[in-house]
Amino acid sequence: MADVKFQSEILPELDPSAPLLDVRDLQVEFRTRDGIAKAVNGANFTVNRGETLAIVGESGSGKSVTSQAIMGILETPPAKIAGGEVLFHGVDLLTLSKERKRRVRANHVAMVFQDALSALNPVYTVGFQLAELFRKHRGMSKAEAKKKSLELLDLVKIPAAAQRINEYPHQFSGGMRQRVMIAMALALDPDLLIADEPTTALDVTVQAQIMRLLAEIQAERQMGLILITHDLGVVADVADKISVMYAGRIVEQAPVLDLFGKPAHPYTKALLRSIPRLDTKGQKLEVIEGLPPVLTNIPPGCAFAARCHYAQDVCRTDIPLLETVAADRAAACHFSAEVINGE
Amino acid sequence: MSDIALEVTDLKKHFPIKQGIVFKSTVGQVKAVDGVSLQLRKGETLGVVGESGCGKSTLAKMLVGLEKPTGGSISVRGEDVTRLGKAGMRRLRRNVQMVFQDPYTSLNPRMTVGDIIGEPFEIHEDAVPKSGRRRAVQDLLDMVGLNPDHINRYPHQFSGGQRQRIGIARALALKPEILICDEPVSALDVSIQGQVINLLEQLQDDLGLSYVFIAHDLSVVRHISDRVAVMYLGRVVEIGNEDEIYDSPMHPYTQALLSAVPVPDPTLRGHRDEIILEGDVPSPANPPSGCRFRTRCWKATDKCASEEPLLQIRQGAPHANACHFAAPRDVVHAVD
């Protein structure tokens, strides 16, 4: 705890006893031609130091928008934060001024994006982009900044870093580029790292390298990590706890072993069953019939009801709230007791 | 007739690297596919796995005639199709069709679904008489699980999974025997992937199709394939029945690939024998001498640099691999 920057001049009101990140009832809307799309419709979760939270969901479930809202990098408009709080050690990041947000982003919360090629600036060398962070936020001289950048490239295990520091992003392979992104995110020693599909564009052997690197650095620095992904395999490997999102809502929250062992929401259960496994060889895969709802026109009641085996009349009228179903876990389903018991 | 639907022998595709604007000269070759031999049996699914740049998509394009091989041969029903003229290629395309990866860019946004699926009939006019074409398209829509009344809709009115069904319907229009599927489900969400995989399996049973199924998702390939070929830098390094490859891989690359796949089971965390490979795949313009995998391999010796291992059946396994030091290794149910 000692290394938390509580004496930070950026956020003097930080409360060390509050959780690292506490997101409360976050709501994000997009204005579209077809009406208002509720991309995030009441997200609640907390992340503590040294903890890995995985946010899992399919495209359009709101997981990336959630992370962008936390980072304060949503384009507004078209997006609009319609409600909720993002508390970083008790300070609501949503209410900060633009300049303070910028400094929080650099020093406290950092992000790794999916597509490193478009996230890096193609006309500057990798070394320049890294050094810029130290020069702008730490007021270092060029030489000092370069030295620090080199240390970072070594930290993320880029071979021959001294030569590569002068190369441009396009000269790096996908995996190496992702390492540069991670180096940039770690540069100012953030307390929380958000990784949005950090390995989706990479091959499996490279994915394994990157995930191992992230895990090592996280353990060493005791960062909080939010991992956004659709890959349940990666989640099973690294997450401490999981939030499953569907149509803008969190439908289930549980520690990793509980979620995989006994899912409490029909969507989680169906998702886990739809992965091809050894024992499904030669059989039809279990699938979730139908499609997720259109976000501009979410039906009343539970958004998953139309695709759900457990659905009853109540599901089509009453929105199930995210309620505690067992120790440390919650689900938003009227029939979570039946689901969890495998009935 | 033999039971071989398609046979590929020593197939090569080298792309020239050109330099200069007026006086272009070739300064090198990218050896995307460099000596691949495969057989696809009738009614089976041959999975092809490998990382980006291993040449699996180039292989697929050559199989349907979208790229001309620079060496080797492809024979369909015993006939070498690499030296066919225009008329011959038309005949080939009727028999070998392709399902593309990206259901968003592989359908023309300005054509209706009916026109997209019916286009093959306009090129191959003898396939279905003009009067029966609309009916035939509706039958195809029905066959892939779409509403036949949606024949006049445009691609943007469909979801990703439905678009992939449209792509499959188009590929089936001319009643081919062989379907080359290049990453057909990788652009889809997990819950939709299953629907498309089930459809492909269903169609194979109903129509007796043979599939070449190219994907990087090893668990999907395991689910659908009868046999699996593993590619690395333009070559096949190991090939065998699905259970041979997944349960007793012999080539170090196959072992590393399988061990790197995250398993959706948190109880196995820390109990898996993960082989983390160092570095990246070398450039296919300048592949390493001898065994191409040796630069990342923990078993490599001088022999691997000087002598290229051939794809053959070696001691210890009933299936073929290309490694001088092939040996079994327990990869702890890497893909279950």
Q: Does the beta-carbon distance from B223 to A286 stay under 8 Å?
A: no
Q: Does the beta-carbon distance from A276 to B269 stay under 8 Å?
A: no
d(CA A111, CA A184): 9
Rounded mean pLDDT, A3-19? 66
Examine the pLDDT at A178 and tell me if it is beyond 90.
Answer: no
Question: Is some CB atom of chain B closer than 8 A to the CB atom of A219?
Answer: no
Supply φ then ψ for residue B231, to 5 degrees.
-110, 145
Structure tokens at B49: 């796995």
Nearest Cα of chain B lies from the Cα of A285 at a distance, in angstroms, of 6
Question: Is some CB atom of chain A closer than 8 A to the CB atom of B280?
Answer: yes
Examine the pLDDT at B177 and tell me if it is beyond 80.
Answer: yes
pLDDT tens figures, B269-303: 877 777 888 777 888 888 899 999 999 898 889 99
- Please tell me the predicted confidence (pLDDT) of residue A343: 67
Assign B200 a pLDDT band (cuts: 50, 70, 90). very high
Examine the pLDDT at A53 and tell me if it is beyond 90.
Answer: yes
Nearest Cα of chain B lies from the Cα of A40 at a distance, in angstroms, of 19
B314 or A116, which is more confident: B314
Return the axis-axis angle of helices B190-207 and B160-172, rounded to nearest 10°: 20
- Please tell me the predicted confidence (pLDDT) of residue B41: 93
The residue among A275, A284, A286, A288 with the most chain B CBs within 10 A of its CB, best to mutate, is A275
d(CA B90, CA B11): 21
Question: Is some CB atom of chain B closer than 8 A to the CB atom of A214?
Answer: no
Question: Is some CB atom of chain B closer than 8 A to the CB atom of A240?
Answer: no
Q: How many distinct structural domains can be found in chain B?
A: 1
Share of chain B above pLDDT 90, in %: 45
Asked, as a colleague might, if the bond just before A169 is cis with ω within 30 of 0, I would say: no
Examine the pLDDT at B314 and tell me if it is beyond 90.
Answer: no
Question: Is some CB atom of chain A closer than 8 A to the CB atom of B193?
Answer: yes
List the domain boundaries for chain A. 18-97+228-277+284-303+318-343
Of the candidates A206, A236, A285, the beta carbon closest to that of B266 is on A236
Of the candidates A174, A204, A275, the beta carbon closest to that of B260 is on A204
**Strand B71-76 versus strand B79-80 pairing type:** antiparallel
Assign B331 a pLDDT band (cuts: 50, 70, 90). low
Residues in chain B closer than 8 A to A289 (CB atoms): 195
Asked whether the ipTM of the predicted complex exceeds the cut of 0.95, the reply is no
Name which of A153, A217, A211, A203 is nearest B280 in CA terms. A203
Mean pLDDT of chain B: 88
Give Cβ neighbours of residue A37 (< 8 Å, ≥ 6 apart): A29, A30, A31, A295, A296
Nearest Cα of chain B lies from the Cα of A59 at a distance, in angstroms, of 7
Of the candidates B216, B264, B266, the beta carbon closest to that of A275 is on B264
Q: Does the beta-carbon distance from A232 to B264 stay under 8 Å?
A: yes
Question: Is some CB atom of chain A closer than 8 A to the CB atom of B262?
Answer: yes
The residue among B102, B104, B191, B296 with the most chain A CBs within 10 A of its CB, best to mutate, is B191
∠ at Cα A197 (A37, A303), nearest 5°?
Answer: 35
Nearest Cα of chain B lies from the Cα of A291 at a distance, in angstroms, of 8
Residue of A nearest to B161 (CA): A291
Nearest Cα of chain B lies from the Cα of A317 at a distance, in angstroms, of 25
- Count of residues in chain B: 336
Structure tokens at A60: 């359009």
Of the candidates A174, A175, A233, the beta carbon closest to that of B264 is on A233
pLDDT tens figures, B144-165: 988 888 999 999 888 888 899 9
Range of the domain at B285: 251-336
A54 or A231, which is more confident: A54
Q: Does the beta-carbon distance from B191 to A230 stay under 8 Å?
A: no
Examine the pLDDT at A7 and tell me if it is beyond 80.
Answer: no
Examine the pLDDT at A127 and tell me if it is beyond 80.
Answer: yes
Question: Is some CB atom of chain A closer than 8 A to the CB atom of B285?
Answer: no
d(CA A292, CA A333): 16
Assign A64 a pLDDT band (cuts: 50, 70, 90). confident
Residues in chain B closer than 8 A to A219 (CB atoms): none
A5 or A280, which is more confident: A280
d(CA A212, CA B249): 24
- Please tell me the predicted confidence (pLDDT) of residue B37: 93
Quick check: is B283 in a domain?
Answer: yes
Supply φ then ψ for residue A83, to 5 degrees.
170, 170
Examine the pLDDT at B332 and tell me if it is beyond 70.
Answer: no
AA letter at A270: A
Residues in chain A closer than 8 A to B201 (CB atoms): 284
Residues in chain A closer than 8 A to B197 (CB atoms): 276, 285
Task: Tell me the count of A-B CB pairs closer than 8 A.
Answer: 114
pLDDT tens figures, B65-89: 888 899 999 998 888 888 888 888 8
- Please tell me the predicted confidence (pLDDT) of residue A222: 87
Quick check: is B98 in a domain?
Answer: no
Lowest pLDDT segment from B29-38, B128-137, B276-285: B276-285
Structure tokens at B202: 């269903």
Rounded mean pLDDT, A161-189? 85
Residue of B nearest to A177 (CA): B280
Which CATH class for the A18-97+228-277+284-303+318-343 domain?
A: alpha beta
149-208 in chain A: CB under 8 A from chain B: 159, 173-176, 203-208
Judged by DSSP in three states, B91 sits in helix
Q: Does the beta-carbon distance from A208 to B276 stay under 8 Å?
A: yes
Structure tokens at B59: 């292989």
Q: Does the beta-carbon distance from A260 to B264 stay under 8 Å?
A: yes
- Please tell me the predicted confidence (pLDDT) of residue B209: 93
Assign B334 a pLDDT band (cuts: 50, 70, 90). very low
Examine the pLDDT at A220 and tell me if it is beyond 90.
Answer: no
Examine the pLDDT at B231 and tell me if it is beyond 90.
Answer: yes
pTM reported for the whole predicted model = 0.84
Give Cβ neighbours of residue B206 (< 8 Å, ≥ 6 apart): none
Supply φ then ψ for residue B101, to 5 degrees.
-70, -50
Nearest Cα of chain A lies from the Cα of B257 at a distance, in angstroms, of 6
Residues in chain A closer than 8 A to B256 (CB atoms): 205
Rounded mean pLDDT, B324-332? 76
Nearest Cα of chain A lies from the Cα of B126 at a distance, in angstroms, of 36
Rounded mean pLDDT, B313-317? 84
- Please tell me the predicted confidence (pLDDT) of residue B335: 46
Judged by DSSP in three states, A77 sits in coil
The residue among A33, A64, A202, A237 with the most chain B CBs within 10 A of its CB, best to mutate, is A237
Cβ count within 10 A of residue B61: 18
Nearest Cα of chain A lies from the Cα of B44 at a distance, in angstroms, of 13
Cα distances from A36 to residues A60, A203, A294, B180, in angstroms, run 14, 37, 11, 41
Q: Does the beta-carbon distance from B190 to A212 stay under 8 Å?
A: no
Share of chain A above pLDDT 70, in %: 96
Mean pLDDT of chain A: 85
Examine the pLDDT at A3 and tell me if it is beyond 70.
Answer: no
Rounded mean pLDDT, B46-61? 89
Assign B252 a pLDDT band (cuts: 50, 70, 90). very high
Structure tokens at A73: 């990098």
Quick check: is B42 in a domain?
Answer: no
Quick check: is B139 in a domain?
Answer: no
Nearest Cα of chain A lies from the Cα of B128 at a distance, in angstroms, of 32
- Please tell me the predicted confidence (pLDDT) of residue A6: 46
- Please tell me the predicted confidence (pLDDT) of residue B336: 45
Q: Does the beta-carbon distance from A58 to B280 stay under 8 Å?
A: no
